[in-house]
Amino acid sequence: MDATFATGKELQKMDPVFGQLSFDDHEQIVFCNDKDTGLKAIIGIHNSVMGPALGGTRMWNYNTEWEALNDVLRLSRGMTYKSAITGLNIGGGKAVIIGDAKTQKTPELMRKFGEFVHSLGGRYITAEDVGMETKDMDTVRDVTPYVTGISEERGGSGNPSPITAYGVYLGMKAAAKSQFGTDVLDGKKVLVQGIGHVGEALVEYLTKEGAIVTITDINEEKLFQVASKYNATVYTGEDLYTADVDIYAPCAMGAIINDDTVNKIKAKVIAGAANNQLADENVHGARLQERGILYAPDFLINAGGIINVYAELANYGKAEIMTKTENIYNTTLEIIDYAVKNGMTTHKAALTIAQNRIDLRKIENAAKK
C-alpha cells in the first residue's frame, strides 16, 4: 500500500501485529487457516520464561479479525501474569477461534486446530475457555498431547470452571475483608454479570453463604433457569453498572470497566472471573482507586482454572489443586497490602509482583546456559 494515499484508519493497520496497542513483547503469534473445516484461529504466545505457554482456547464470533487479534494479545499477556502470580512454572499463551461455537464448531474443526497446536512442538499448551467444553479438549487430545483440561476418564483434571469459581469466591471474600472489615458475605448484595460455567458455580457458592445475589446474562433462558435453581434475583434495571450492590462480579467478557462505566459503579468491591476487566489498566484502575472502590485483580482471583489444568502437567492431585486455589485468599490480601504500602493500584501491585518473579527466573535461566 502506498502510504501517500493511506487514510488514518489504514495507517493504523500498517503495523497489524507489532504496532497493535495490545502488543506487549509477545514472542510468537500464529495465524491458522483451514479452508476445508472453516478454521480461522490465532494462537498467541506472550512469554515462555517460566515454562511452556499455557492458556485456553476461546471460540467467539468476533466482529472483525482486529478484535480477535486484540483479544488474543490481551488474553495471552494476562496468562503470563496469572501463572507467575500463582507461582506456577508455566508461561502465558492463548488461542482464539473466530466463529460461532453453537453453529460452526465441529469435531473436524477442533482436530484441525489440534494439529496447528501440535505443530508448535509444545511451546503452547491449550485448554478450555469460552465456547469450549471438555469434550472439545478430548477431540484435540486425539491429535496432540499438548492440551490440558481433558476429561477425567482420559486421565485429565476435567472441567476447570468449579475451581475457577472457588478461587474467585475466595478472592472476593479477601477483598470484602479488606473493604468491609469482615469476609462474611452473608447479607451482602452481590451482582454477578455472566452466568456461564464459572458464573453459575460462583452463584452457588455465594447463595450457600447467604449472599443476596442478583444475576444478569445475555442468555435469558439460562438466566431464569439459574435464578430459580439458586433463588437469585434477575436484574431488571436500565443500567447494571448503577445497581445498588456491595460487590460487582463481572464474569463475562472483558473491558467492562471503561470510560462509560467507571464513574457509574456503586459497588465498593469489584471481584469477578472475567479476564481483562479494565479497558485501560492505568486509567481505569486509578479511577476506581480514586472512587474508593477496591478492585481484586482479575488475573489473580480467576487463576483457579489454570491451577486445575496445570495439575495435569505437574502430576498433582485434587488436594494440591484445592490448597493452591485456597492460597488465592492470602495472595489477594498480600496484593492489597502491597498496593497500599507502595501507593499504587491493586492491579499494578499484582503485575509488579508477577513481573519480579519472571525477571528473577530469567536471570536464573541465563545462569544455567
**Confidence band of 11 (pLDDT split at 50, 70, 90):** very low
The count of structural domains within the chain is: 2
* Domain end position, chosen among 159, 184, 218: 159
Residue 2: the pLDDT is 39
Q: Are 68 and 109 in contact (CB under 8 A)?
A: no
266 in catalytic set: no
Q: What are phi and psi of 278, to 5 degrees?
A: -85, 120
Q: 216 pairs with which residues across the strands?
A: 193
CATH code where residue 66 lies: 3.40.50.10860
Residue 289: the pLDDT is 97
Buried b (16+ CB within 10 A) or exposed e, 15-39: eeeeebebbeebbebbebebeebbb
Q: What is the per-residue DSSP string for 174-234?
A: HHHHHHHS----TT-EEEEE--SHHHHHHHHHHHHHT-EEEEE-S-HHHHHHHHHHHTPEE
Q: Which residue has the higher pLDDT, 249 or 15?
A: 249
Q: Are 146 and 116 in contact (CB under 8 A)?
A: no
In terms of domains, do 103 and 172 share one?
Answer: no
In terms of domains, do 74 and 179 share one?
Answer: no
**Residue 306 CB coordination number (10 Å):** 28
Q: Pick the catalytic residue: 82, 94, 268, 348? A: 94
In terms of domains, do 277 and 137 share one?
Answer: no
Q: What is the mean pLDDT of residues 232-236?
A: 96
Q: DSSP letter for 293, please.
A: P
Q: Return the minimum-mean-pLDDT range out of 65-69, 214-218, 284-288, 330-334.
A: 65-69
Task: Give the tens place of pLDDT for each residue, 40-96.
Answer: 999 999 999 999 999 999 999 999 898 899 899 989 999 999 999 999 999 999 999
Domain assignment present for residue 366? The answer is no
Q: Are 226 and 245 in contact (CB under 8 A)?
A: no
In terms of domains, do 130 and 73 share one?
Answer: yes
Domain assignment present for residue 1? The answer is no
Residue 316: the pLDDT is 87
Task: Give the tens place of pLDDT for each residue, 290-320.
Answer: 999 999 999 999 999 999 989 989 988 889 9
In terms of domains, do 112 and 136 share one?
Answer: yes
Q: Kindly report the three-state secondary structure assignment for every residue of 301-354.
A: HCCHHHHHHHHHHHCCCHHHHHHHHHHHHHHHHHHHHHHHHHCCCHHHHHHHHH
In terms of domains, do 249 and 133 share one?
Answer: no
Structural domain that includes position 22: 13-78+91-159
In terms of domains, do 167 and 34 share one?
Answer: no
How many whole angstroms separate alpha carbon 180 and alpha carbon 174?
Answer: 10
Task: Give the tens place of pLDDT for each residue, 148-196.
Answer: 989 989 988 878 889 999 999 999 999 999 999 999 999 999 999 999 9
Q: DSSP letter for 104, please.
A: H
* Domain end position, chosen among 143, 159, 175: 159
Residue 19: the pLDDT is 73
In percent, the amount of the chain with pLDDT more than 90 equals: 80
- Cell numbers for 20: 497493535
Q: What is the mean pLDDT of residues 201-206?
A: 98
**Confidence band of 99 (pLDDT split at 50, 70, 90):** very high
Domain assignment present for residue 268? The answer is yes
How many whole angstroms separate alpha carbon 217 and alpha carbon 343?
Answer: 36
Task: Give the tens place of pLDDT for each residue, 251-270.
Answer: 998 889 999 999 999 999 99
Q: Is the pLDDT of residue 125 over 50?
A: yes
pTM for this structure?
0.87
Q: Is the pLDDT of residue 3 over 90?
A: no
In terms of domains, do 104 and 190 share one?
Answer: no
